[in-house]
Amino acid sequence: MAKARTGGAGPLAGVLVVDLSRALAGPHAAMMLADMGARVIKVESPSGDDSRGWGPPFVYPGDGLPAEATYFLSANRNKESVVLDLKTAADGAVLADLVRRADVLVENFRPGVLDRLGFGTNELFELNPGLVLLSITGFGHDGPEAPRAGYDQIAQGESGLMSMTGAGPDDPQKMGVPICDLLAGMNGVSGVLAALLERERTGTGQVVRTSLLAAGISVHAYQGTRWTVGREVPQAGGNHHPSIAPYGMFRCADGAVQLAVGSPQLWKRLCDAFGLDAADPLFATNDDRVRNGAELVAALEVAFADIASADLLSRLSEAGVPAGRVRTLDEVYDWDQVESQGLKVSVDHPRLGPVTLSGPPLRFFDPAGEEITKVDHQAPPVLDAHGAAVRSWLEGDVSS
């Protein structure tokens, strides 16, 4: 049987996280905590996390073994899997034992579900007054919309993100990743870390609540104040910034490049490099360039029309103008810069063998600039891989 883990090296070494969540927001949060060294025990229903069935793509290990969903693999590295049927008294008792030992519990049930299972907030804190409980819902834990189920695309629409994304006002688009799920998980981790720090002072735990709706609204940034202060309703504008110009994607001889010209000095450098008049009355100030955006795009694309993208990027770099490519994911994961930043990790999956996963976004260094020992990443677990080992550990068999 697979051995129970003790967590990894890192700032959260020694922290025990019980992950009751499924799908993405909660599992992503728990995985981030695992990346920082916490031991994460993922509690799954007998049918497993929903995302084990989300595909294609699936990977088929052969020998009659069940297919593995790449979706599940994306959010569950560095975890142990234990199957518990929380409708039974025996498995409820196992969860109670886990809660007593836990530092953090992560859940993303609809409000009221844990209460019906006998693990409401009061019961959890009776078991463990020092527990930090991270609870993620779709639309918040209270208010008129609290009972609604939370799914990312619905939250992207309801939070206004889709209204600002797309080729134009009549083309609302979701993002290419489940951004509300991911941000809810990230926001939850921030709250957990703050609560753990406060527990060091007070000795008591607390509840951290967030939602997919909060995640979407929390990243409105300048688009939010365009409405709340400026009384201007943002609309989708394609690949060009609504308040900075030129800032977006521009066609060239064999494709496109992206520019970010955020200051008068950068505008002059760009014009000098490509024979344009920086003082042209249509484009002299950022306000002029934004108001005359269509004309600006046309002028730059005429200047770039005969230049291949590689040459164009080289010339922009020489001029000191921020620019970049639009990469496909295969190009991203083959990029040496991604490799250098630890943004992909190789793990040995018990059924699939060696697989490559996206890596964690954080790195830690000592004051001398030496990278501190990294987590020894483990593959996402197969269903109930650690069930026997965790039960033995709870019963006091430390060799398991």
Residues with catalytic roles = 181
CA nearest 209: which of 154, 118, 143?
143
23: left (phi over 0), alpha (psi -120 to 50) or beta: left
351 close to 382: Cβ distance less than 8 angstroms: yes
Report which DSSP code applies to 163: G
- Burial code (b: 16+ CB inside 10 Å, e: under 16) for 7-23 equals bbebebeebbbbbbbbb
- C-alpha 34/C-alpha 356 separation (Å) is 17
Task: Please enumerate in sequence order all residues whose Cβ is within 8 A of that of 161, keeping only pairs 6 or more positions apart, or say none.
Answer: 174, 175, 179, 180, 216, 219
* C-beta neighbour count of 214 within 10 angstroms: 19
CA distances from 245 to 11, 240, 292 (A): 42, 8, 9
Report which DSSP code applies to 147: T
DSSP β-bridge partners for residue 354? 348
CA distances from 148 to 9, 92, 141, 239, 289 (A): 39, 26, 10, 33, 43
